[in-house]
Structure 1
Amino acid sequence: AKQLVGVNEEDHLILAHQSYKSGKYSQALEHGNAVYEKNPRRTDNLLLLGAIYFQLRDYDLCIAKNEEALAIDPQFAECYGNMANAWKEKGDIDLAIRFYLTAIQLRPNFCDAWSNLASAYTRKGRLNEAAQCCKQALLLNPRLVDAHSNLGNLMKAQGLVQEAYACYLEAIRIDPHFAIAWSNLAGLFMEVGDLNKAMQYYKEAVKLKPSFADAHLNQGNVYKAMGMLQEAVSCYQRALQARPDYAMAYGNLATIYYEQRQLDMAIHCYNQAILCDSRFVEAYNNMGNALKDAGRVEEAINCFQSCLVLQANHPQALTNLGNIYMEWNMISTAASFYKAAIAVTSGLSSPLNNLAVIYKQQ
């Protein structure tokens, strides 16, 4: 009987790996959990479970499984690397950097960790260190497409468009199915205003990886820039299918509904955006505008105030509140909001004009 259990465990692990590789993460999880029930101390299975949870965007459980493995084998470099990936997604970049460095200390030739450390340094604006890490990763493995792509992002961040282009092309030459590089290439063309090329490459990215939420979102942005709003809406909806908690996709969807004067739909989508990301400043301000246009002024005031709680010097929210008080004939309150708006921006003409109107009236 013992042998049967052993075979069963190995079979489950093999099936878990196969399901993981083919992107069937829920199936992979079932097999991995079956192994875990039989033997919770198998570090290779714990590492895989962590990776599965990462793909399912359950970063806390990803971290927990890697911690379980490290309690058994403190030298397990991959666990530190995967934990760092999860912390990076959770937004704690400093902790991610610490874990990448630990992974590299344990395994200096860990090229994925070098490449991921590069993207963490990029997020912190430490571009020179990031470039060094990319180059180190590519020394260890010249075919590491992630590192070519990350190096491209670095070049782009420094305004070196030709160099970025070359990096993305190299990644695609090595692996034509690497969706991230197609998406990054598209972003480069979007920035220089070549919408047709951008569209072509985003289409390639989502064809290669249908669950690629960022690429769906950006493809929607290209359609919007082309004035093809229905297509843009479809892309944002696909982004939300791929990532149901994607605040930016709800925000962009809401903006289109707002521009089409579908105020109820706009308000609903801004609300969803805020539920996904309670610190989404622009969503509060924009939802305030939609509520005000829908005649729900008290709720609009609450939105503008929530916006100011998150960003006390948000010029549009200050101006919008000023406008409401102006309409209510509460002139001195309106003036104080306009003055606050003028103090924090030089780009808005409306608070200046409105303040001039007030001074004229007095």
Structure 2
Amino acid sequence: MHSRQNSPNQHQTEEPSQAEIANLLALFTQQHYAEAKACADKLTHQFPQHGFTWKALGAIHKKLGNPEEAITALTKATLFLPTDADVHYNLGNSFLEQSKLSQAESSYRQALVIQPGYMAAHYNLGKVYQASENFDAAQASYRIALSLQPDFVEALSSLGVVLHSLGKIEEGEIYLRRAAEINPNDPQNHTNLANLLQELGNTEQAESLYRQALKINPYSWQPIYNLANLLINQKHLSEAETMYVQVVQLRPEFAEAWFNLGNCLFAQNRHPEAEISYREALRINPDYAEAHNHLGIALREQERLTEAEQSYRNALRLKPDYVDVHYNLGNALSELDRIPEAEVCYHRALEFNPDYAEAHNNLGIALKTAGRLEEAKLSLEKAMSINPEFLEPYVGIASLKTYRENDPQIALLEKQLATVHELKPEAQIRFWFAIGKMYEDLGRFDASFSAYEKGNRLKFSSVTWDEEKEIAFIDRIKKLFTKVFFDRSDALADMTNRQPTSNIASERTPIFILGMPRSGTSLLEQILSTHPSVFGAGELVIMKEVIVNAALSEDYLHYPDAIANFSLEQWHQLGQSYLDKVWELAPHSSHITDKMPANFLHIGMIHLMFPNAKIIHAMRDPMDSCFSCYSRIFSKNNLAFSYDLNSLGHYYNRYITLMEHWHTVLPAGTILDCRYEDLVENTEAQAKRILHYIGLPWDERCLDFHKNKRRVKTASQAQVQKPIYKSSVARWKHYKKYLGPLEELINRRNRELNA
């Protein structure tokens, strides 16, 4: 017989002693979790089939914040304690904390098979269903939990929230109020009830409950966040901002809070700060389509249109059916002057939502810009039919029609008079100009001027106009560009036996149409662009860009002094730069018009860059020209002077004085004056005179200028698609009694000249 020896696996069937188990429990109870873990690790190693030690190790890992290790230990425990409902319940809790919902559901169900009356398992199973948005199943589980323990606050509160989600608002309110009554010191109970009451429209009580929750716990982010959302809806932007800032400090990775902070800042017109918040939301969640959209809106407000376009496209990549983004992208493309692409975007938005009044409106504006006026009217009228209270289409259509008595749109526009003060300032301005035009069409000139005056007053208060700066600018121009200055330049050119622009291709002839705004520049360009040799480029900013680059000053502070000592070669380079940029618009044209009216300021430079340039000075009766400006709203903040009669009169006087200066210091014939009144009286004779000056043969098509469908991007877009009409001549006299100060300013200058 052989003596018996212990085998290596002898301890696997043994159990820890009661003293070892008591020591483990004591360490756990005393919260010495690291020592408890060491003890449990030792026991599970020594007794790997002892279920209780695995159960204890799972609980210890949970306390130590090791969820995966807890799941591993508790899974082991279920193997050795398959009928222990607590083990399955604890394993379900660990799965739930890791958002492993299907595994959590399975564990809780197993616990309930073992112990059907396990209230906590029913409750947590309800939490699993709620997290899965299976609200009906969640409701059933919470109701079972409450049948087992009717005053279980967490179940009362959770059932109330689920009923809220199911639209059973009144029943949900009962449970939420019960939870708050039982435990008034839990801020979550007040927050949940406040959320429900806010949806019911009881914002006053909701706000009170949110503030009550914050008294209990000032650092509870949910009531702070929800109260901020309530306050922003009530336009209490400053306090809402403070609360959103608190939320992102408490939860820096909460993308929605950063997004709503951005919305709050945007509502306060703090667009760069809003941009920062939207970008932070996107750092946290790059797939946040709404944040991409709102970032695009903030960038557009900062006139960073190319970046805005990219943000909108990012949103559409994530959410192709995002209707508002198609609309917003169309707006950005319109402002980028990419009208065909904008039109596609508006149509795309309307495919998703045919009743999108704003999209119909802006499609109409885009079509109007493209010169497709009848289509534009149809789109604008469609917007009106969808929403008769929507102001913008009435504003857009005003320049496309002549109002007559009994027009139904008159009553709709007049209806807005009672609430116009509730509109944003920009909308109020557009409204007053539109209704001013309507009353003018109807011959109600007193009401018309009153509307124009209100619109101009609002607009002028929103722009910056520095009269002293403008006076100094004109003085600097006249001081530098003297006859002596030009004679010296001509002499230098003779000495070098060449012209400053002798190397510039002679087949490219720029035509500058300039003068006072609303003096007929658009009509002149429309007539000329109908000639087959002429491309009408519209109001170009290229000359300004050339000057800014030459003078190294965007605000003209160093102009024209910075170019006083330019050489002939430098003038040549400036001219070449201008031509290269302009001829990108129409490479095969021999003549291109630039009808930027303000180029009258730069005639001296134009002459030095192009000694043989064609410069057409559009002239008009000063009162008609000025009042036509006063009765128009221009894009963005252009022509700020035109919104105040005093500034308008002074601007006109400086303009006409400078034009007289150019006629004095430049060679005779450099500038061709063309009066608007002569043009409408005898269009053919004036057109022939202008073409002769330019050096082009007569073409009968110039008389059919109104059939030219080219785009016109100025306030005259509708007028130039009509045959010549004379109703604009002496138009100002209908308003003579209101224009006394303007008339006096202009007459005073004439008296001073004749003195």
The normalised TM-score by structure 1 is 0.81
Q: Within the alignment, does 1:243 sit opposite 2:251 as a pair? A: yes
Secondary structure of the residue aligned to 2:356 is coil
Using the TM superposition, name which of 96-105 and 134-143 deviates more: 96-105
Q: Within the alignment, does 1:189 sit opposite 2:204 as a pair? A: no
Q: How far is the alpha carbon of 1:132 from its aligned partner?
A: 1.5
CA contact (8 A) 1:87 1:95 kept: no
Q: Distance in 1 between matches of 2:189 and 2:349?
A: 41
| Cα 1:153–1:310 shift into 2, 3 Å | same
Q: Within the alignment, does 1:265 sit opposite 2:273 as a pair? A: yes
Q: How far is the alpha carbon of 1:249 from its aligned partner?
A: 1.0
Corresponding position of 2:62:
50
| Cα 1:266–1:9 shift into 2, 3 Å | farther
Q: Distance in 1 between matches of 2:270 and 2:35?
A: 49
Q: Within the alignment, does 1:67 sit opposite 2:63 as a pair? A: no
- 1:74-104 CA deviation, whole Å, 9 max, x = no partner? 452233322342244xxx6555544443443
Secondary structure of the residue aligned to 2:253 is coil
Corresponding position of 2:29:
14
Equivalent residue in structure 1 for 2:124, among 116, 131, 142? 116
Q: How far is the alpha carbon of 1:248 from its aligned partner?
A: 1.3
Q: Within the alignment, does 1:278 sit opposite 2:283 as a pair? A: no
Corresponding position of 1:78:
89
| Cα 1:208–1:283 shift into 2, 3 Å | same
Question: Could you tell me which amino acid in structure 1 is paired with residue 56 of structure 2?
Answer: D
Q: Distance in 1 between matches of 2:35 and 2:248?
A: 31
Q: Superposition RMSD on alpha carbons, in Å?
A: 3.0
- 1:38-71 CA deviation, whole Å, 9 max, x = no partner? 5445543533543664xxxxxxx53443333323
Using the TM superposition, name which of 244-253 and 339-348 deviates more: 339-348
CA contact (8 A) 2:71 2:95 kept: no
CA contact (8 A) 1:267 1:290 kept: yes
Corresponding position of 1:287:
295
Q: Distance in 2 between matches of 1:211 and 1:78?
A: 31
Corresponding position of 1:154:
162
Question: Could you tell me which amino acid in structure 2 is paired with residue 71 of structure 1?
Answer: K
Using the TM superposition, name which of 98-107 and 163-172 deviates more: 98-107
Count of aligned pairs: 336
CA contact (8 A) 1:80 1:103 kept: no
Q: Within the alignment, does 1:354 sit opposite 2:351 as a pair? A: no
Question: Could you tell me which amino acid in structure 1 is paired with residue 333 of structure 2?
Answer: Y
Secondary structure of the residue aligned to 1:313 is coil
Q: How far is the alpha carbon of 1:125 from its aligned partner?
A: 4.5
Equivalent residue in structure 2 for 1:221, among 229, 232, 235? 229
| Cα 1:187–1:70 shift into 2, 3 Å | same
CA contact (8 A) 1:80 1:102 kept: no
Using the TM superposition, name which of 70-79 and 172-181 deviates more: 70-79
| Cα 1:120–1:39 shift into 2, 3 Å | closer
| Cα 1:69–1:94 shift into 2, 3 Å | closer
| Cα 1:150–1:7 shift into 2, 3 Å | closer
Q: Distance in 2 between matches of 1:37 and 1:172?
A: 43
CA contact (8 A) 2:207 2:230 kept: yes
Q: Distance in 1 between matches of 2:130 and 2:233?
A: 28
Question: Could you tell me which amino acid in structure 2 is paired with residue 78 of structure 1?
Answer: Y
CA contact (8 A) 2:78 2:88 kept: no
CA contact (8 A) 2:350 2:359 kept: yes
Q: How far is the alpha carbon of 1:245 from its aligned partner?
A: 1.3
Q: How far is the alpha carbon of 1:15 from its aligned partner?
A: 4.9
Q: Within the alignment, does 1:128 sit opposite 2:136 as a pair? A: yes
CA contact (8 A) 1:66 1:82 kept: no
CA contact (8 A) 1:13 1:45 kept: no
Q: Distance in 2 between matches of 1:358 and 1:273?
A: 33
Q: Which runs of 5+ in 1 are unaligned?
A: 17-30, 54-60
CA contact (8 A) 1:83 1:99 kept: no
CA contact (8 A) 2:305 2:336 kept: no
| Cα 1:132–1:71 shift into 2, 3 Å | same
CA contact (8 A) 1:152 1:167 kept: yes
Q: Distance in 2 between matches of 1:308 and 1:199?
A: 36
Q: Distance in 1 between matches of 2:218 and 2:339?
A: 54
Question: Could you tell me which amino acid in structure 2 is paired with residue 68 of structure 1?
Answer: A
| Cα 1:267–1:71 shift into 2, 3 Å | farther
Q: Distance in 1 between matches of 2:342 and 2:103?
A: 44
Secondary structure of the residue aligned to 2:116 is coil
CA contact (8 A) 1:247 1:277 kept: yes
Q: Distance in 1 between matches of 2:224 and 2:91?
A: 31
CA contact (8 A) 2:89 2:107 kept: no
CA contact (8 A) 2:308 2:332 kept: no
Question: Could you tell me which amino acid in structure 1 is paired with residue 97 of structure 2?
Answer: A
Question: Could you tell me which amino acid in structure 2 is paired with residue 67 of structure 1?
Answer: T
Corresponding position of 1:104:
112
Equivalent residue in structure 1 for 2:209, among 187, 201, 204? 201
Corresponding position of 1:178:
186
Q: Distance in 1 between matches of 2:193 and 2:333?
A: 47
Q: How far is the alpha carbon of 1:256 from its aligned partner?
A: 0.9
Question: Could you tell me which amino acid in structure 1 is paired with residue 71 of structure 2?
Answer: N
Question: Could you tell me which amino acid in structure 1 is paired with residue 181 of structure 2?
Answer: R
Q: Within the alignment, does 1:36 sit opposite 2:63 as a pair? A: no
The normalised TM-score by structure 2 is 0.41
Q: How far is the alpha carbon of 1:146 from its aligned partner?
A: 1.5
CA contact (8 A) 2:187 2:214 kept: yes
Q: How far is the alpha carbon of 1:186 from its aligned partner?
A: 0.7
Secondary structure of the residue aligned to 1:113 is helix
Q: How far is the alpha carbon of 1:260 from its aligned partner?
A: 1.4
Q: Distance in 2 between matches of 1:94 and 1:6?
A: 33
Alignment of 1:301-320 (within 5 A): 301-320=309-328
Q: How far is the alpha carbon of 1:347 from its aligned partner?
A: 5.6
Using the TM superposition, name which of 275-284 and 343-352 deviates more: 343-352
Q: Distance in 1 between matches of 2:163 and 2:114?
A: 29
CA contact (8 A) 1:77 1:106 kept: no
Question: Could you tell me which amino acid in structure 1 is paired with residue 37 of structure 2?
Answer: Y
Q: How far is the alpha carbon of 1:344 from its aligned partner?
A: 1.5
Q: How far is the alpha carbon of 1:210 from its aligned partner?
A: 4.0
CA contact (8 A) 1:145 1:174 kept: yes
Q: Distance in 2 between matches of 1:202 and 1:48?
A: 36
CA contact (8 A) 1:250 1:273 kept: yes
Q: Max radius of gyration: which structure?
A: 2
Q: Distance in 2 between matches of 1:98 and 1:130?
A: 15
CA contact (8 A) 2:33 2:63 kept: no
- 1:283-306 CA deviation, whole Å, 9 max, x = no partner? 111111112222333332222122
Q: How far is the alpha carbon of 1:255 from its aligned partner?
A: 0.7
